[in-house]
Structure 1
Amino acid sequence: MKTPFPFSAIVGQEQMKRAMILTAIDPGIGGVLVFGDRGTGKSTAVRALAALLPPISVVRGCPVNSSDPADCPDWAHASETDLVERPTPVVDLPLGVTEDRVTGALDIERALTRGEKAFEPGLLARANRGYLYIDEVNLLEDHIVDLLLDVAQSGLNAVEREGLSIRHDARFVLVGSGNPEEGELRPQLLDRFGLSVEVTSPDTIDERIEVIRRRTAFENETDHFLARWQAEDATLRESILAARAALSNTETPDNILRDCAQLSMTLGADGLRGELTLLRAARAYAAFSSAEQITRDHLRSIAPIALSHRLRRDPLDEAGSVARVSRAVVDVLG
């Protein structure tokens, strides 16, 4: 299997990297939507972050990556009880995928050859405790996207069909990427993603040269290149693990709650998902920054990626959604 490109070696794209780091600290944030030009490192960043994280301990033979034999579902018939380490899973969801392939379905082969009614796990089982990556998410059928977002939020996959009644854990970080020139997601679906990032190609000669230099070194001098970036990836891994441990102890002052609510009201965001996600992401960012409590600086940094995709379109305002969020941040937070 080809070694992923080191996460720390990705040039630029700071907002995208920050969003993915935050979901690694707190998967409950709700996934990341990355829209932008082709060839800007979207899929590279997902695989690089998963490779950077420590391996997970799973029950040998368990199809849903359970960490405890007692949690491995009965239908899996896993006879092993020992644990093995595996890399954090990254599962690609192809366009044109069927609902059965995603959620799992009746194992036809066993039904025909043995006369047994057995469950064949789908992609959601493989993605448990890892990442589910959808390239060109804006081209995926809406009912599949709806299903994925529902499961990602609940952490449970339920299958009720063909006489089967199956439930299993499906806790994963959903990452969708796409090119807006090929179509946009419905606003209802946009709102369900926790964070959203717009990425563009590097706009300076120096950045483009550095991208070429690092990619060439990775392809032609792989071992030397990986060794060079190993220390930085290790440092980032320790920071993510420390932030996970500190997350529950990170304080949220009352004025921060008011700021979150005021930002959403000022922007006219529908529902309460905006401020809830903003607060959760800001807490993860505060923990990552080794801060004891959330501050307005954390909100300023996180607001564009937590709120920009939740805005109603304003035909009288030609500014982009990120610019509108930036204006609201200045008005509310100073």
Structure 2
Amino acid sequence: MRGYKKPTVSVIGASGYSGAELTKILLRHPSVKLEKLYAHTQAGKKVQDVYPFLDTDAVFESYGGEKDTDIYFLALPHGEASSIVPKLADAGKLVIDLSGDFRLKNPEEHLKYYLKSKDPDAVLTYAMPELFHDEIQQAKAVSNPGCYATSIILGIAPLVKKPLNSALVKSINCSAISGISGAGRSSKVELSFSEMSGNIRAYKVGKHQHTPEILQALDTDTVEPRFDFLFTPMIAPLVRGIYAVLNIQLDKHLPVSQIEKHFKEFYRSAPFVRVRPTMPEIQHVAYTNYCDIHIAESTDNGSAVIVTAIDNLVKGAAGQAVQNMNILLGYDETLGLL
């Protein structure tokens, strides 16, 4: 359109894996203009010297409180966004925060799972497009879901948010495997090639910080949960991807065909959720913003197994963040992501 001025976008924390993925998507986005890439530890370096695959002449800069672009993505370590987001929001900027600083409504849960205290009012709209699209449209600053949380919530929500044949969820036992990039770009001995090659291990069993986020999105909490929930995260020698196996106990039997039909109806307006008749694989979703879901089994005693797969850096972080930006701007939510 002649005379149309594209909204400008900057990324704070652009040198991490999620920040780099954001940069890659925003560079090809047809309806925004990428302005500044802030990264304190890499300040002064050319972006291409750090990430040669990014087609830009930009140089990383240190963020000093600037508010001169229309939209800000924050891809910072937990705890660092809490002082920046309110100032940007007060200045009228659109803000998408990828950290956990503003996700949880209950400050006691935040303190327990993030080991940091927070202002009880420091909560943003939880921006999972498939569940809270209307709320996102009305917001100015949003909190992007976590990667594990995205893969698990999407695999459970239809049975909790809109029970099928009045079948109630009694318990959920979830095991999910993440690629190493989920731990960030900083060097850690336990994540080195010699430690992880041919290896897999569980960690933070029942204590992972995405646990209260998952339950909150499912209309309950860790204090007085409506159903028993156990989450076992694992790390495997993959660069990217999350593969979640959800063992759900219902109070009555539901056939696989009915559950599958129910999921398809629930996500009929969700362009990035694919309810598959076959088992998902990481390679089916890598480098995409899709979440693939398969209803694997349902037994006579009410047990059901649902499997999901996402790319942790795209649907689990940067892709979902751009999807949320599109909604905030009134664009088609798939813009720049297909």
TM-score by length of 2: 0.28
- The answer to which structure has the higher helix fraction is 1
Structure ranking higher in strand proportion: 2
Length-normalised TM-score, structure 1: 0.28
User: Which of the pair has more CA radius of gyration?
Assistant: 1
